Structure 1
């Protein structure tokens, strides 16, 4: 018997794992990112991307919000919890590699039939008897074909998949927090510009009123100036509502109630400027950084291992089992060596007819593996497109912003000139009004463009998976 057990054990240790082995797929990416038209800020491809990219805006409040969100965001906490659950499932799957050992014990008060099988109590079924028993039982599946190993491999891939999902949520939360903060500062800057223009419009209104009272102009100018003031004032409630909405959005990202960050963020600050140089790294590094690519790779690994499990189900399963216990009719005899009993030996399970279940399962797992391989290719291609689009948008918005700066500068000169000519009576107020409207539009467009430059850069960092604050693990 010992020789048989040893032979089976050696076979298990040297046994092969059926099914395909997983190999990390090649990510089809360019050797270098295509350079967009030269922006105002240079894009340095050769340097590695900044992992703590949110600090590049040199805004301590932005840095604080992004890093606090990593600790308090509820979506990230849920993703971390799912990751910890996958690790627990891995531990459960790993238990199949080791023997299952359990202790048994029991007491029975029984009486056998006088007409049935032999009564082991010796009472011939004429009286009750007690049966005492305790011992150990063990069982271990000899993994000849790698079914258990493939199952453990799939569980490991599931952990990697859950970790990639958590990292993806962490990256998204960091990017969303930064983008909402930048939009908030942009709205506050627009509010400041609008209020400045409102002051200018009120000054024009006072001037036209004085000129009307002096009989220099007509009621048309006073009506136009009053309409301009009302039009500018009408923008303020919508901007203030957008400011409140963005503060609430940031409060939610940090896992807090509405208006929780009102006092902290309500005071307007300047819009943070992006860095002068933005390292974007090399395309070959993208597959190692992007959580969605890592997730697709882990899903492919999991599906590949599942094919091996399905193939192993066609082969026999050999298990080694045994038990050693004590049994006695009197409790006082349980400790005697003569009360011992044991059994040990291998057992065999051989599938013969399953009604097509095993074949169908294998075909399903193979098709799921094909789907996972296609999804990996799709994910890599989508990532390539996202990076190219983000770099193009960032470059274009920088050039757009530079042109708007020139437009605002010239519109300011035009307004000053028009106001002076109006005071001299050289032009009508309608000319002043048109120039002021043009200035308001270009100033608002300039602030919006500055906001988009910064949020486009956040998108660049997001699609390049620059990094994210370390999220704390779920505590058990």
Structure 2
């Protein structure tokens, strides 16, 4: 046993050797501040860090909060992402099992007849009639013969150069990446729920505007008919007023279709059948307003807050570790093997002391020539690591552009709405004046129709912009990576 002990001690001495590059957390160049500003007339951004993971609470809408909670517990995409986490953790256990010896127990019976037409068979036939010692188990020699066996075997491949440890490291990184993917699905889900809900409230606001304008158009139609009866206007004024009322009325079916589509989208996001939320959501409510201040933090915080960046980092870590796996495969492998148990020709003698057998010994296998296969595997792993590094940098750059674009869109939409509100106020004044002039016979109905049409368009734009501001804020929160549980502490827990 001394040679075996020497081999084991040498293997343990080498056990701390791990080949391949150690993962170094990337440190991308990040700007000190955002190039875009989100300072608008209604809301402005601050450099304070995002402290509230549940960013939708800033809208102060209990219905929206309820939808978020139901989506978090019921959405099928989120459940699938959670199952992928469990799968990755199971794969990690598979990788970790390679660090331990494998032990198997087996029992068997084998019947065999040796051909007497071969040299070994003839020799077996010559000794077949020779009786063995009277007390020895399976002493008689016969052809054919049977053999019972009961035993175990153990195999342990020593992790001399860290291939198994690198595999475990890669599997741990894969599991961490799966968690980040789940968080990314969560961020996207919350963004979609908020967008669909705000779009629904915006459509309800547009429907209210259209309904009010339809009432105004019908009132003008009544005035035109009365003036025609009094001989103060012609039939063409009635036709023009009726046409404008019909055009406004024609917008309502499209708005109803949009309302149904938004409600069904929200139902889908919480894994409910179409129309399941109609009773709950069909009553009109205001568009959730934006808060006066929003915390966006600094660009450097994105690296630790956005799940896609964190996931790209974990995938880079996994690819780096797999370089070590490929490199370790080019070095010798040492396997310790042991087997033992009982063998006997007769079952009654199987457990006798004389029936025992055993074997133990190391096996060292060194690759000499494989046509460059192992070297090529190292190259493949290296290129994959380089690709993962490029993907990480691209993900960071895309994130910076997304936030910058979202900040700009949020600020500019506020400015746009301020101009639209001014236009609405002026158009309302123009409608009042045009109506007075028409009713007093100072102007034709064309002036009133044109003023009311312009007012209707500006009020519709105002409703669109009101919803768009809130939707732009949702897009900004999504670009910042807010929404997954723990994001408030992500920056503080991020290693330097």
- Which stretches in structure 2 are left out of the alignment for 5+ residues? 133-137, 487-496
Q: Which residue of 2 aligns with 1:233?
A: 249
Match of 2:411 among 395, 402, 411: 395
Find 1:58's aligned residue among 47, 57, 60. 60
Q: CA shift at 1:51, angstroms? A: 0.9
Q: CA deviation at 1:441?
A: 0.6
Residue 420 (structure 1) aligned to one of 432, 436, 443 = 436
Match of 1:125 in 2: 142
| Aligned equivalent of 2:289 | 273
Secondary structure of 1:138's partner?
A: strand
- Find the residue that maps to 2:250 and give its secondary structure: helix
Gaps of 5+ in 1: 471-476
Number of the residue aligned with 1:99: 101
CA–CA distance in structure 2, aligned partners of residues 35 and 247 of structure 1:
34
2:489 paired residue number = none
The verdict on how the C-alpha distance between 1:338 and 1:128 changes in structure 2, with shifts beyond 3 A counting, is closer
* Residues 224, 238 of structure 2: 8 Å contact kept: yes
Q: 1:286 to 1:32 in 2, by over 3 A?
A: same
Structure 1 residue 122: deviation in Å? 4.8
SS in 2 for 1:98: coil
| 2:391 aligned residue | 375
Match of 2:469 among 446, 453, 465: 453
Whether the aligned pair in 1 keeps the contact of 2:50 and 2:482 (CA below 8 Å) is: no
Deviation at 1:50, TM superposition (A): 2.3
- 2:168 equivalent in structure 1: 152
Contact kept, 8 Å, 1:304 with 1:369, in 2: the verdict is yes
Q: Which residue of 1 aligns with 2:493?
A: none
Instruction: Report the Cα offset of residue 236 of structure 1.
Output: 0.7
Taking the TM superposition and a 5 Å limit, the aligned residue runs for 1:429-448 are 429-448=445-464
**Structure 2 equivalent of residue 48 of structure 1:** 50
Q: Are residue 19 (structure 1) and residue 35 (structure 2) matched? A: no
Equivalent residue for 2:72? 70
* Structure 2 partner of 1:81: 83
Superposed CA deviations along residues 271-306 of structure 1, whole A, max 9, x for unmatched, are: 110111100122222111111111211111111111
CA distance in 1, matches of 2:405, 2:251: 32
- Name the CA shift for 1:128/1:145 in 2 (closer, same or farther; >3 Å): closer
Q: How many residues align?
A: 468
- For residues 171 and 236 of structure 2, the distance between their equivalents in structure 1, rounded to whole angstroms, comes to 78
1:66-465 maps to which residues of 2 (within 5 A)?
66-114=68-116, 116=121, 118=124, 122-129=139-146, 131-465=147-481
Contact in 2 for aligned 1:296/1:376 (Cα 8 Å)? yes
**1:50·1:279 contact (CA, 8 Å) conserved in 2?**
no
* Structure-2 separation of matches of 1:309 and 1:13: 15
CA distance in 2 between partners of 1:104 and 1:31 (Å)? 66
CA distance in 1, matches of 2:139, 2:213: 109
Deviations 1:71-91 (A, max 9, x none): 211122212111211111111
- Deviation track 1:216-255 (CA, whole Å, cap 9, x = no partner) reads 0112211110010010011111111111111111111111
Deviations, residues 181-217 of structure 1 (Å, cap 9, x unaligned): 1001100110111001000000000000000111001
Q: Is the 8 A contact 1:247 1:259 kept in 2?
A: yes
- Looking at structure 2, the residues matched to 419 and 219 of structure 1 have their Cα atoms a distance apart, in angstroms, of 18
Local SS of the residue matching 1:327: strand
Shift of residue 343, structure 1, vs aligned partner? 0.9
Distance (whole Å) between structure 2 residues aligned to residue 395 and residue 437 of structure 1: 28
- Matched-pair contact (CA < 8 Å) for 2:15–2:162: no
* Superposed displacement of residue 35, structure 1: 4.7
Tell me, in whole angstroms, the C-alpha distance in 1 between the residues paired with 2:257 and 2:238. 30
Structure 1 window deviating more from structure 2 (325-334 vs 457-466): it is: 325-334
Residue range with higher mean Cα deviation, 273-282 or 421-430: 421-430
Identify if the C-alpha distance between structure 1 residues 281 and 204 changes in structure 2 by more than 3 Å, giving closer, same or farther: same
Distance across 2 between alignment mates of 1:380 and 1:301 = 16
1:473 is matched with which residue?
none
Q: Look up the SS of the partner of 2:98 in the other structure.
A: helix
| Secondary structure of the corresponding residue to residue 318 of structure 1 | strand
Is the contact made by 2:23 and 2:321 (CA closer than 8 Å) also made in structure 1?
yes
Q: 2:18 touches 2:163 (CA, 8 Å); kept in 1?
A: yes
Give the drift of 1:113: 4.4
1: CA distance between counterparts of 2:383 and 2:296? 37
Given that 1:170 and 1:469 are in contact with CA atoms closer than 8 Å, whether structure 2 keeps it comes out as: no
Check conservation: 1:43, 1:278, Cα contact below 8 A. Answer: yes
Q: 1:337 to 1:122 in 2, by over 3 A?
A: closer
* 1:364 CA drift (Å): 1.3
Displaced runs of 4 or more, over 6 A: none
Q: TM-score, normalised by structure 2?
A: 0.90
Return the alpha-carbon distance in structure 2 between the equivalents of residues 202 and 231 of structure 1: 11
In structure 2, do the counterparts of structure 1 residues 237 and 381 end up closer, same or farther at CA, with 3 Å as the change threshold? Answer: same
CA offsets 1:314-352 (integer angstroms, 9 cap, x no match): 111111111221222232333333322211111112212
